[in-house]
């Protein structure tokens, strides 16, 4: 995560889409174990949801969170609750 923070300090475009893309990319490069991959997929899913949105509204952010959750679960062949995955009931 420190690498992602350092990368964020180095970018000029601080739009939400660019921030999410930068975080997802850096987390994927530095991923250690399943949790690292799941976290990078979560941010990548969020990025995919907002990459073409000029102005982020609260409903867009909520959709981005849902997209991130779906991407994280899709990254696993047999997702199970525990560690970093949580299921809303």
CB 38 within 8 A of CB 84: yes
Would residue 51 count as lying in a domain? yes
pLDDT of residue 89: 39
Range of the domain at 36: 2-74
Helix then strand then coil, in percent of the chain rounded to 5, is 65, 0, 30
Report the alpha-carbon distance of residue 74 to residue 16 in Å, rounded: 23
Whole-number average pLDDT of the chain: 87
Would residue 9 count as lying in a domain? yes
Domain tally, the chain: 1
Would residue 84 count as lying in a domain? no
The model scores a pTM over 0.85: no
Report the alpha-carbon distance of residue 33 to residue 54 in Å, rounded: 34
Would residue 87 count as lying in a domain? no
Would residue 57 count as lying in a domain? yes
Would residue 82 count as lying in a domain? no
Would residue 85 count as lying in a domain? no
Q: Is the pLDDT of residue 82 over 80?
A: no
């Amino acid at each position: 995560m420190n690498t992602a923070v350092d990368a964020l300090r180095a970018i000029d475009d601080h739009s939400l889409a660019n921030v999410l893309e930068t975080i997802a990319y850096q987390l994927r490069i530095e991923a250690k174990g399943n949790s690292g991959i799941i976290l990078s997929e979560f941010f990548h899913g969020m990025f995919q949801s907002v990459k073409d949105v000029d102005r982020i509204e609260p409903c867009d952010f909520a959709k981005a969170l849902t997209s991130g959750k779906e991407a994280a679960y899709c990254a696993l062949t047999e997702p199970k609750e525990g560690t970093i995955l949580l299921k809303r009931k």
